[in-house]
Amino acid sequence: MAPTIKILLADDDKEDQLILSDAFEQIGITNVVHFVDNGEHALVQLEKCFEDDVLPRLIILDLNMPRMNGTQTLRLVKQDDRFKHIPIIIYSTSLNNIEKDECIRLGAHSYIIKPLTFSEYVKSAEFFYNLCLE
């Protein structure tokens, strides 16, 4: 059986993945984040999680990814009755109010700007993990 995935994070930036992984380690949380590099892979992973009956507690989507961006992925996840209850956070490098409003309208829990410092990444990791516990 596959390990329980508490957070599914889709981001094509390997450096952001590494920094966030380090931030989770900093707060003593390991093996809770499963990284994929685009929206298509996020949907494939959700299917696997559904088959294994271990859905993630949170999905985090980078807004700008190749193949399928965060908004497109959000729309598809929220249209699927199996997954629409999972909170989704849009995680972007910039604030585009039009995109933000669209993502919230589509059902995103929140729209968060990616941190600039490691201490901010640690705070984000804490926020994400605590959201999983709700």
- Listed by start position, the domains of the chain span 7-133
% of the chain with per-residue pLDDT over 90: 75
Q: DSSP 3-state assignment of 111?
A: strand
Mean pLDDT value across residues 91-110: 92
Q: Which CATH number fits domain 7-133: 3.40.50.2300, 3.40.50.2000, 3.90.550.10, 3.90.1300.10?
A: 3.40.50.2300
32 — phi, psi (to 5°)?
-115, -15
Tell me: pLDDT of 2 over 50: no
Cα 21 to Cα 100, 109, 122, distances in angstroms: 25, 22, 9
Kindly report the average pLDDT of the chain as a whole number: 91
pLDDT of residue 4: 60
CB 92 within 8 A of CB 113: yes
For the stretch 39-97, pLDDT in tens is 999 999 999 988 888 899 999 999 988 889 999 999 999 999 999 999 999 999 888 89
Taking each helix axis from N to C end, the angle separating 70-79 and 39-52, rounded to the nearest 10 degrees, works out to: 30
Supply the pTM of this predicted model: 0.92
Q: What is the pLDDT of residue 83?
A: 95
Instruction: Look at residues 62, 85, 82 and name the one whose alpha carbon lies nearest to residue 72.
Output: 62
Q: What is the 8-class DSSP label of residue 58?
A: E
Q: Which residues contact 116 (CB under 8 A, 6 or more apart)?
A: none
User: Residue type for 92, please?
Assistant: S
| Cβ proximity of 67 and 10 under 8 Å | no
Average pLDDT over residues 12-26: 93
